[in-house]
Amino acid sequence: SFDAVPLAPTDPLFGLMAAYKADTFDRKVDLGVGAYRDDNAKPWILPVVKKAESILANDPNLNHEYLPIAGLPTFTSAAARLILGSDSPAIVENRVTSVQTISGTGAVHLGALFLAKFFPRPQDQKVLISNPTWANHPQIFSNVGLASTTYPYFDPSTKGLDFDGLCSSLESAPEGSVVLLHACAHNPTGVDPTKEQWKRIAEVIRQKKHFPFFDCAYQGFASGDLDNDAWAIRYFVEEGFELCVAQSFAKNLGLYGERAGCFHFVSPPSPNAQDGIKRIASQLAILQRSEISNPPAYGARIANLVLNDGKLFAEWCENLSEMSGRIKSMRTALHDKLVELGTPGDWSHILKQIGMFSFTGLNEKQVLKLREESHIYLTKNGRISMAGLNTHNVEYFATAVDKVVRE
């Protein structure tokens, strides 16, 4: 019998969402979930996605047949060009393989599963993940039998990157470790390395023969510029690294529930690279078949239209600017209000951090007080989803923060 099955705790983030939903206070604020909201705190269907949906709805040739095991080929190849750049040496030299996945989570999982099966490493070697990181990372790896350990990332005293800690930790890790890196807009901190820092990180990874595994959930969402947000990955590819990428279209196309994503494996430049990538693709296909048989079609079809049509693509870029622009304006509004209130502490990190989240520095006690006294919902680590702020609630939030910081 299954009497020994222990009761697992509910997922903290989804628990927070449920608590927010149940709250009847009219000025309640949801800063928990990492999903874009418009200035009225409502989910936003990107106008370009609406257009793509109507094209799909009127296409007499579409049906509900299975996609191929590796997904919709025109979608996965466009996704590779989007993240690696269309002139990427890896694409030109045919040493990339791409598999459509269940959004970014599925891509991280497929990559983890592939590494668990094929990455040559000593038994006790651990996947290196940043401290802190997206809460799902450690369990995705442990579920496929890969233990993880952390490298320093966030420095609470500067509310910025602990660059020295990061580098020395990668230096002292066992040679040939898997290193998970957030490609841009680090979740939960909103703190990214500078280009110079990325170059140094690449150097250490090369020296130590580590394997870089990029998780990219916010391309175009972070800076509003798709190329800029892919810079680190493209730099590593140009430097000739063997690497993999988990790519999500949840945030940048607002396709959260449609689960559109892609996993890319890039082989290093070598005369045998094409043979190598073929072998890797064949194994990924077997893993995919046993896990999901074939990926879901709807979100991939939308992304496929947007990525492969010049006009739709241009409109997408405008939609991305609107989302990232609104978030940046909320950073300014929140920062300025805290300064105006004279709230104790330095709040410049709110302006410096990028992407969906800000790591405010509020402690657990303050977070709980915000929830109990002001009906404001954020995760215990003090992370706020910037997209939950808008012109109607940012002052209310700043005033509540001011109060708990002074208490």
Give yes or no: 229 in active site.
no
Shortest CB 262 distance to ligand PMP, Å: 10
CA angle 249, 251, 254 (to 5 degrees): 85
Q: Which is nearer to ligand PMP, 263 or 265 (CB)?
A: 263
Establish whether 134 is a catalytic residue: yes
The residues near 168 (Cβ < 8 Å, ≥ 6 apart) are none
The least CB distance from residue 134 to ligand PMP, in Å, is 4
Measured between alpha carbons, how far is 407 from 397 in angstroms, rounded to an integer? 16
Q: 333: part of which helix (H) or strand (E)? A: helix 310-341
Q: Which stretch binds ligand PMP (CB under 6 A): 98-106, 262-270, 301-309, 327-335?
A: 98-106
Which three-class secondary structure state does DSSP give residue 347? Answer: coil
Q: Is 215 in the site for ligand PMP (CB under 6 A)?
A: yes
Token readout for 388 is 């939950």
Of the ranges 101-109, 227-235, 278-286, 334-342, which one interacts with ligand PMP (CB under 6 A)?
Answer: 101-109
Q: Binder to ligand PMP among 76, 97, 100, 105 (CB under 6 A)?
A: 105
Site string for ligand PMP, 309-338 (x = CB under 6 A): ------------------------------
Nearer to ligand PMP, 15 or 344 (CB): 15
Which of 134, 153, 221, 397 is in the footprint of ligand PMP by CB under 6 A? 134
Give whichever of 215 and 315 is closer to ligand PMP, judged by the CB atom: 215
**DSSP string over 187-200:** TTT-----HHHHHH
Structure tokens at 326: 């609104």
Provide the minimum distance between the beta carbon of 137 and ligand PMP in the complex, in angstroms, as a whole number: 7
Known catalytic membership, residue 251: yes
Among 70, 79, 217, 287, binds ligand PMP (CB under 6 A): 217
Structure tokens, 309: 């049509």
How many residues belong to the chain?
407
229 binds ligand PMP (CB under 6 A): no
| Gap between the Cα atoms of 151 and 170, Å rounded | 7
Nearest by Cα to 239 from 210, 208, 203: 203
CB 291 within 8 A of CB 283: no
φ, ψ for residue 241 (rounded to 5)?
Answer: -75, 150
Do residues 202 and 56 touch, judged by C-beta distance below 8 A? Answer: no
Nearer of residues 32 and 104 to ligand PMP, judged by Cβ = 104
- The active-site residue out of 215, 229, 337, 347 is 215
Degrees, nearest 5: CA angle 39-45-51: 135
CB 52 within 8 A of CB 302: yes
Which helix (H) or strand (E) segment holds residue 56: the answer is helix 47-57
Strand, helix or coil for residue 98? strand
Q: Select from 79-87, 100-108, 306-314, 342-350 the region that touches ligand PMP (CB under 6 A).
A: 100-108
Catalytic residue chosen out of the listed positions 134, 198, 316, 347: 134
Residue 104 makes contact with ligand PMP by CB under 6 A: yes
By CB under 6 A, is residue 261 in contact with ligand PMP?
yes
One-letter amino acid of 394: V
Distance CA 77, CA 85 (A): 11
Nearer Cβ to ligand PMP (134/154): 134
Q: Which of 251, 316, 337, 347 is catalytic?
A: 251
Choices 52-60, 97-105, 140-148, 232-240; region in contact with ligand PMP by CB under 6 A: 97-105
Of 245 and 405, nearer to ligand PMP (C-beta) is 245
Residues forming the active site: 134, 215, 251
Interface residues toward ligand PMP, by CB under 6 A: 34, 103-105, 134, 182, 187, 215, 217, 248, 250, 256, 261
